[in-house]
């Protein structure tokens, strides 16, 4: 089953999400994550954060360069001084593109669905997507990071986050 993306003016997209307790008995984490992957793929995105489907928790998923990530309570440990500019898309703002400057690589930490803590260095599109999703769970959208540029919808389908 796919989930509904909340409208762009929803409060949950603009507030800091709560830490996620993977052992919480009243939360079916596996079902949520499975449905988030379905929703992301159906929408043609590469990343999706819990608040985008109305869940105020520090959790996001991404599929970038053939690799699936489930990131629980994620954080950036270190970011490069070098930066890149990229026109980002976002599933919560269909058809919009924003040119955003971000560190080129990041060392990150997050918990996996099985409770293991990962420490990894991401670069390229994986680093870019991780930072975009981390913004989401901090209540920050790409519109807070730059100015929307006009791009036709059909050009923006492949890399929405």
- Residues with catalytic function: 133
| Residue 59 or 90 with smaller CB distance to Co ion | 90
Positions 22 through 81 that interact with Co ion (CB under 5 A): none
Rounded alpha-carbon distances, angstroms, from residue 63 to 2, 27, 52, 82, 160: 16, 23, 16, 24, 11
The reply on whether position 90 binds Co ion by CB under 5 A is yes
Rounded CA separation 84/18 (Å): 29
Give the CA count within 13 Å in the CB-facing half-sphere of 161. Answer: 28
Rounded CA separation 106/134 (Å): 12
The CA angle 108-63-118, to the nearest 5 degrees, is: 30
Helices (H), 43-140: 124-137
Positions 102 through 161 that interact with Co ion (CB under 5 A): 161
Stretch that binds Co ion, among 3-11, 85-93, 104-112, 150-158 (CB under 5 A): 85-93
| Residue 41 or 117 with smaller CB distance to Co ion | 41
Q: What residue is closest to Co ion based on CB?
A: 90
Q: How far is the CB of 105 from Co ion (least distance, A)?
A: 20
Nearest to 47 by CA among 80, 77, 74: 74
| Residue 14 or 24 with smaller CB distance to Co ion | 14
Q: How many residues bind Co ion (CB under 5 A)?
A: 2
| Residue 33 or 132 with smaller CB distance to Co ion | 132
Given a contact cutoff of 8 angstroms between Cβ atoms, the answer to whether 103 and 129 are in contact is no
Stretch that binds Co ion, among 16-24, 33-41, 88-96, 98-106 (CB under 5 A): 88-96
Q: How far is the CB of 23 from Co ion (least distance, A)?
A: 28
Binding site for Co ion (CB under 5 A): 90, 161
């Amino acid at each position: 089953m796919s989930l509904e993306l909340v409208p762009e003016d929803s409060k949950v997209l603009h507030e800091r999400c709560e830490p996620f307790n993977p052992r919480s008995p009243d939360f079916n984490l596996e079902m949520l994550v499975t449905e988030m992957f379905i929703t992301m793929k159906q929408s043609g995105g590469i990343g999706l954060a819990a608040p985008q489907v109305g869940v105020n928790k520090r959790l996001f998923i991404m599929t970038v360069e053939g690799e699936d990530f489930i990131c629980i309570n994620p954080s950036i440990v270190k970011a490069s001084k070098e930066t890149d500019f990229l026109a980002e898309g976002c599933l919560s703002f269909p058809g919009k593109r924003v040119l955003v400057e971000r560190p080129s690589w990041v060392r990150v930490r997050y918990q996996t669905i099985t409770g293991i803590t990962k420490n990894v260095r991401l670069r390229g599109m994986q680093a870019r997507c991780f930072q975009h999703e981390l913004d989401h769970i901090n209540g920050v959208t790409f519109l807070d990071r730059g100015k929307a540029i006009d791009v036709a919808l059909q050009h923006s389908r492949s890399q929405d986050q």
